[in-house]
Chain A
Amino acid sequence: MGDFADDRLGTAGDDFYEALLEAHKGLSFEKSAALNARLVLILANRIGDLETLSAALTAARGSKE
């Protein structure tokens, strides 16, 4: 999990979080969930490596609901 835990965004983290909320602004919960689903797929393709993606899935599932 080491790789996933490391901070790669630095101070851009706040910029990203703001942009993420902005992207969701005004959407119903369902539309927001759909946006997140599309986002996951786009990011997965961008990562483009099955091994990394599998490990990411495990890491995400591992942390509690």
Chain B
Amino acid sequence: MPRYEYRRFGYTTPPELSGGRPRDYKVAIVGAGPIGLALAIDLALKGVASVVLDDNDVVSIGSRAICWAKRTLEIFDRLGVGERMVEKGITWKVGRVYHRDRELYAFDLLPEAGHKMPAFINLQQYYVEQYLVDRARDFPELVDLRFKNNVIGIENSNSGATIKLETPDGTYNLAADYVVACDGARSPIRSMLGLEFRGQLFEERFLIADIEMQADFPADRRFWFEPTFHEGESALLHKQPDDIYRIDLQLGWDADPEEEKKPEKVIPRIKAIVGERPFEIDWVSVYTFQCSRLERFVHGRVIFAGDSAHVVSPFGARGGNGGIQDVDALGWRLAAVVKGEASEGIFERYNAERVHGADENIKNSARTTNFMTPKSDMEKMMRRAVLDLAAEMPFARRLINSGRLSVPCSLERFYNRHLSAAPLPPGRVAVDAPLEKNGEDTWLLSELDAGFTLVSFGGGAGPAIAGVRHMSVGADHGDLIDRRGFALDRYGTRLSYLFRPDQHICAVFRKPTEEYVRAVVDKELGR
């Protein structure tokens, strides 16, 4: 398999430095990582222009995100890149947990049928970023991608923010109504605004290696506690496209990161896992992880999303996947505010929802990392008891924590549950289902692709409301036909669900009158 070929995106002199007339920027996005790029596409799909500024001109290099969760793939699908990613990625849903050389149990992350997207794919971050850049370029009028534009200063005010940029042609200032800081874990914008990033640093080092090798290893995620092939506490193995495998090895806190990266140290460690098969090292790093976040994600006209707002240790794949959920929660709100359809106050709700999401991700990632790094003899003994009991007692398997993998964040706490008969309460993200539309196969989520949508399950008319689409789902008649029964099973019948533009349920009605529906939409938009 040919390995990924890094190509420079190229630099063009910005209009500000080539004598063009100054423009009026509504949204400036700092950082063309997965989060910044996804946000620019989401805004473009809603007709809102943005300028994306990145100090670099190439995709992410080295061993970074590989596991993309179902919800992320659903969001990517809404952005128009989900299918391409699934096609290239390695699909998996089973995780296997071993103690020494014995398999303790396996878990299935998507045991039911009737979903367009799989539980997980593995796809190197460089592919994800490249596909997002390709997609962003479908909107030349709406996404202004500027590589080698390094943000070196920022001034925040009540009516906008001005950023100072450094380019190969010199420096310039750019004023925007809103600046979204997607500038990663070391966020320069965070530092420039003097914001504190607080959390827990784990005293442990991990060797993370990507190797190229011909092998028929399964796509399953495989995790070992106290592996027989490595003297450290744990090992993790993942398969990626292009015959690349990701190996994470726990090294202990005393390991010397520089020493550990040397081929003479790395090669024997890998040989111990893969045996005598030939392999080539693609990338090796030694990482230390932390779980931290900003106290608030919204600071006047500067909004944080992705790693700039929160970072986690990677064992639940909650970093990038959490960041993409930020995009989901921010895109429609930012678009609505910029278009004058919503009040600025709704960013407070973005803040509350995503701080909640980040806390959930931090809690789960920290617990996993703590389980992987026992800090005292008693912690070690306790973990040993869990592993010993797990072989025979299923309850103990649930206590083994090799990663609580990324799931959609539920927003139930932000809504009142007023209809207890509804199988899905407000706050939950829509559950997909296969449907038929005009004789063609479709998916529920593919139909919830823009704006607020009211869906009547089991048929029924909906009120005509400006800005709210209505459709009906029925077993044999309606706008969408539920031939296989998944949708009616998941949503119930004679119930109408109102979905936000990010596919979250915001209300469930027996009788969706114009007045009720409008009131909910107005509240969401802060009107």
Picked from A1, A5, A24, A65, the residue with its CB within 8 Å of the CB of B378 is: A24
* Interfacial chain A residues near B364, Cβ < 8 Å: 14
For residue A8, CB closer than 8 A to chain B, the reply is yes
Chain B residues numbered 109-155 whose CB sits less than 8 Å from any CB in chain A: none
A40 to B392, CA, bound (A): 21
A-B CB contact pairs (8 Å), 29 listed: A4-B393, A5-B393, A5-B394, A5-B395, A6-B394, A7-B394, A7-B395, A7-B397, A7-B398, A8-B395, A9-B398, A10-B398, A13-B395, A13-B398, A14-B364, A14-B367, A17-B367, A17-B371, A21-B382, A24-B378, A24-B379, A29-B376, A29-B378, A32-B378, A36-B378, A63-B391, A63-B393, A64-B388, A65-B388
Q: Which 5 pairs, one residue from A and one from B, show the smallest C-beta to C-beta distance?
A: A32-B378, A5-B393, A7-B395, A13-B398, A13-B399
A14 with B404, Cβ < 8 A, contacts A5-B392, A6-B394 known: yes
Picked from B370, B392, B401, the residue with its CB within 8 Å of the CB of A63 is: B392
For residue A33, CB closer than 8 A to chain B, the reply is yes
Picked from B377, B386, B398, the residue with its CB within 8 Å of the CB of A29 is: B377
Picked from B376, B394, B397, the residue with its CB within 8 Å of the CB of A24 is: B376
Chain B residues numbered 453-488 whose CB sits less than 8 Å from any CB in chain A: none
* Interfacial chain A residues near B201, Cβ < 8 Å: none
For residue A53, CB closer than 8 A to chain B, the reply is no
A1 to B393, CA, bound (A): 8
Please tell me if the beta carbons of A27 and B378 are within 8 angstroms of each other in the complex. yes
User: Which of A4, A13, A20: most chain B CB closer than 10 A?
Assistant: A13
Residue of A nearest to B385 (CB): A63
Chain B residues numbered 367-384 whose CB sits less than 8 Å from any CB in chain A: 367, 370-371, 376-379, 382
- Which A residues fall within an 8 A CB radius of B? 1, 4-10, 13-14, 17-18, 20-21, 24, 27, 29, 32-33, 36, 59, 63-65
User: Which of B367, B371, B376, B391: most chain A CB closer than 10 A?
Assistant: B376
* Interfacial chain A residues near B401, Cβ < 8 Å: 14, 17
CB distance from A62 to the nearest CB of B (A): 8
Task: Other than A5-B395, A21-B370, give 17 A-B pairs with Cβ distance below 8 A.
Answer: A1-B392, A4-B393, A5-B392, A6-B394, A7-B395, A9-B399, A13-B395, A17-B367, A17-B371, A18-B367, A24-B378, A24-B382, A29-B378, A32-B376, A59-B393, A63-B388, A64-B388
* Interfacial chain B residues near A27, Cβ < 8 Å: 378
* Interfacial chain A residues near B382, Cβ < 8 Å: 20-21, 24
A7 to B395, CA, bound (A): 4
A65 to B388, CA, bound (A): 8
- Which B residues fall within an 8 A CB radius of A? 364, 367, 370-371, 376-379, 382, 386, 388-389, 391-395, 397-399, 401, 404
The majority secondary structure among interface residues of chain A is helix
Residue of A nearest to B390 (CB): A63
CB distance from B102 to the nearest CB of A (A): 12
User: Which of B370, B382, B388, B394: most chain A CB closer than 10 A?
Assistant: B382
Residue of A nearest to B391 (CB): A63
A24 to B398, CA, bound (A): 21
A20 to B371, CA, bound (A): 12
CB distance from B87 to the nearest CB of A (A): 34
* Interfacial chain B residues near A21, Cβ < 8 Å: 370, 379, 382
Residue of B nearest to A8 (CB): B395
A27 to B367, CA, bound (A): 20
* Interfacial chain A residues near B376, Cβ < 8 Å: 24, 29, 32
CB distance from A1 to the nearest CB of B (A): 7
A27 to B376, CA, bound (A): 9
Picked from A4, A17, A24, A32, the residue with its CB within 8 Å of the CB of B399 is: A17
A32 to B377, CA, bound (A): 10
* Interfacial chain B residues near A13, Cβ < 8 Å: 395, 398-399
CB distance from A33 to the nearest CB of B (A): 7
Residue of A nearest to B370 (CB): A21
CB distance from B104 to the nearest CB of A (A): 13
A65 to B391, CA, bound (A): 13
A64 to B390, CA, bound (A): 11
Picked from B367, B378, B386, B395, the residue with its CB within 8 Å of the CB of A6 is: B395
CB distance from A6 to the nearest CB of B (A): 6
A17 to B482, CA, bound (A): 43
CB distance from A37 to the nearest CB of B (A): 12
Residue of A nearest to B404 (CB): A14
A6 to B370, CA, bound (A): 25
* Interfacial chain A residues near B399, Cβ < 8 Å: 9, 13-14, 17
* Interfacial chain B residues near A64, Cβ < 8 Å: 388
* Interfacial chain A residues near B379, Cβ < 8 Å: 21, 24
* Interfacial chain B residues near A65, Cβ < 8 Å: 388
* Interfacial chain A residues near B404, Cβ < 8 Å: 14
CB distance from B378 to the nearest CB of A (A): 4
* Interfacial chain A residues near B397, Cβ < 8 Å: 7
A6 to B397, CA, bound (A): 10
